[in-house]
């Protein structure tokens, strides 16, 4: 047989977004792969240098369109460190609550897309249906379903509405039942197991060598979770376990994500209980004038000249649903960040595609890439 290159993408059911996977095949066997990114590049890092600190938040929601809260939290943590601001505790709990609901929402979205890659249509509908409940919760307190713009430098925009925590607990109870149902549908099915077992193996040392993080790393038997290893916000005070599996294949990644959703439920129950009993302010009270309000009106340039504001840099790392995301913000004392840099976990995860795709069949590519959980919005930024 002769070898040939084929393009899977930029428009292909496998890609889940706008990127191209070039595959070199010989018959059915994959000999080489070449991931091509950049179709969705919007220059978010450069645009950020032209916006006030709070206005960058609107870009963060569009960085990853299924995990907007994780990216908001990432940027806010770095910006607060650069500006020497400490948010009130209740705002931190609200951020953690948003983060964990976002993790559930993102993993449900992944579940729906992944099983659809395998050709299972009914679980896809169940996953999307249950994700809608999480989006409804977001809409109840932020006012939007996908682009939240909820966190602010120094706190969060508003408190949750009355009765919210009870409704959220109802959703968690409902989701607990659904996880059991997903397992019965997928892990209980021979077809699913035979399709996914021993597929797309990426061992722990390869993960570390290529910077692969998140559920893929944990599925390879490495216990690494930034919420435990480098606790941010209030994760230190919350009791939860790190999901882990050893097989390093597609099934292991499925199991890790399912376990993470159960752990998110556990975290959320503790956070909702805390929120019920600890009212408090939403914003830090020592904010400078041009950050205290959500706007930065004119005259501020002169204001900053008249009283110099401390400079600084901020670095933050957050366990995003897809992996470890990092942000670096440089504050040179102006109204805008001097430089913003993001590290996207999915970029590293799909850059290592050659390691876990070569040697399998062409028909194995959709399930393997599905188990990576690609979100092109944050790959290209």
Partner 1 sequence: MTEAKTSDGENAADNPILYVARPMATAARQFAKSLRRPSTIVYPYERLEDPRFRDQVAVEPGRPIGVGQVWDNYRGVHALNIATCISCNLCAFSCPDICIEMVTVPGDDPKHPKKCPQIDYGKCSYCGFCSDACPEGCLTMTTRYELSTPHRAEMVYSPQKLNEVFRSKLPMNPIRLELPENEDRILLDPPLCIGCNACARDCPTQCITMLDVPRPDAKPGEKLPKRIWKEPVVNDSDCVRCGTCISVCPKECLFWGSRP
Residues from 132 through 191 that contact partner 1 (CB under 8 A): 132-133, 136-137, 139-144, 147, 149, 157-158, 161, 163, 167-168, 170-171, 173-174, 179-181, 183-185, 187-190
> What is the rounded (10 degree) CA torsion for 320, 381, 371, 150?
40
| CB of residue 43 to partner 1, shortest distance in Å | 15
287 touching partner 1, by CB under 8 A: yes
Beta-carbon contacts of residue 119 (< 8 Å; ≥ 6 apart):
none
- Residues 236-255 interacting with partner 1 (rule: CB under 8 A): 241-245, 252, 255
| CB of residue 196 to partner 1, shortest distance in Å | 12
2 touching partner 1, by CB under 8 A: no
Smaller CB separation from partner 1, 300 or 313: 300
The CA radius of gyration of the chain, in Å to the nearest whole number, is: 21
Among 15, 54, 106, 355, binds partner 1 (CB under 8 A): 54
| CB of residue 374 to partner 1, shortest distance in Å | 21
| CB of residue 8 to partner 1, shortest distance in Å | 29
DSSP 66-118: S-HHHHHHHHHHHHHHHHT----HHHHHHHHHHHHHHHHHHHHHHHHHHHHHT
Other C-beta atoms lying within 10 Å of the C-beta of residue 74: 26
- Residues 300-359 interacting with partner 1 (rule: CB under 8 A): 300, 302-303, 306-307
230 touching partner 1, by CB under 8 A: no
d(Cα 197, Cα 245) in Å, to the nearest integer? 13
| Nearest residue to 70 via CA among 43, 36, 109 | 109
204 touching partner 1, by CB under 8 A: no
Per-residue string for binding with partner 1, 58-97, x by CB under 8 A? x---------------------------------------
Question: What single-letter DSSP state applies at residue 149?
Answer: -
Among 1, 279, 295, 308, binds partner 1 (CB under 8 A): 295
| Nearest residue to 123 via CA among 43, 76, 189, 24 | 189
| CB of residue 361 to partner 1, shortest distance in Å | 22
d(Cα 252, Cα 192) in Å, to the nearest integer? 13
Beta-carbon contacts of residue 229 (< 8 Å; ≥ 6 apart):
none
101 touching partner 1, by CB under 8 A: no
């Amino acid at each position: 047989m002769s070898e040939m290159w084929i393009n899977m993408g930029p428009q292909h059911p496998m890609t889940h977004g706008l990127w191209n996977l070039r595959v070199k095949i010989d018959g059915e066997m994959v000999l080489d792969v070449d991931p091509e990114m950049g179709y969705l590049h919007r220059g978010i890092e450069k645009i950020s240098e032209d916006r006030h600190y709070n206005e960058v938040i609107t870009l963060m929601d569009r960085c990853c369109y299924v995990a907007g809260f994780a990216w908001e939290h990432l940027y806010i943590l770095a910006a607060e460190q650069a500006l020497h601001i400490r948010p009130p505790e209740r705002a931190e709990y609200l951020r953690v609550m948003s983060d964990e609901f976002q993790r559930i929402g993102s993993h449900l979205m992944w579940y729906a897309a992944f099983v659809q890659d395998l050709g299972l249509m009914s679980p896809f509908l169940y996953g999307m249906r249950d994700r809608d409940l999480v989006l409804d919760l977001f809409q109840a307190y932020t006012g939007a379903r996908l682009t939240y713009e909820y966190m602010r430098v120094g706190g969060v925009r508003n408190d949750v509405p009355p009765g919210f925590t009870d409704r959220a607990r109802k959703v968690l109870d409902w989701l607990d039942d659904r996880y059991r149902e997903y397992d019965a549908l997928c892990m209980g099915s021979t077809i699913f197991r035979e399709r996914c077992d021993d597929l797309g193996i990426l061992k722990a040392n390869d993960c570390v060598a290529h910077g692969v993080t998140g559920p893929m790393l944990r599925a390879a038997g490495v216990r690494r979770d930034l919420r435990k290893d480098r606790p941010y916000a209030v994760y230190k005070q919350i009791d939860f376990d790190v999901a882990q599996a050893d097989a390093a294949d597609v099934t292991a990644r499925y199991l890790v994500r399912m376990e993470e959703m159960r752990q998110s439920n556990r975290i959320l129950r503790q956070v909702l209980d805390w929120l019920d009993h600890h009212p408090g302010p939403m914003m830090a009270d020592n904010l400078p004038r041009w950050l205290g309000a959500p706007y930065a009106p004119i005259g501020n340039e002169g204001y900053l000249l008249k009283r110099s504001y401390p400079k600084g840099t901020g670095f933050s790392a957050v366990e995003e649903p897809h992996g470890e995301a990092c942000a670096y913000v440089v504050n040179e004392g102006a109204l805008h960040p001097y430089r913003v840099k993001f590290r996207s976990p999915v970029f590293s995860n799909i850059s290592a595609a050659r390691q876990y795709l070569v040697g399998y069949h062409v028909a194995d590519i959709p399930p393997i890439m599905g188990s990576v959980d690609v979100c092109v919005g944050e790959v290209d930024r």
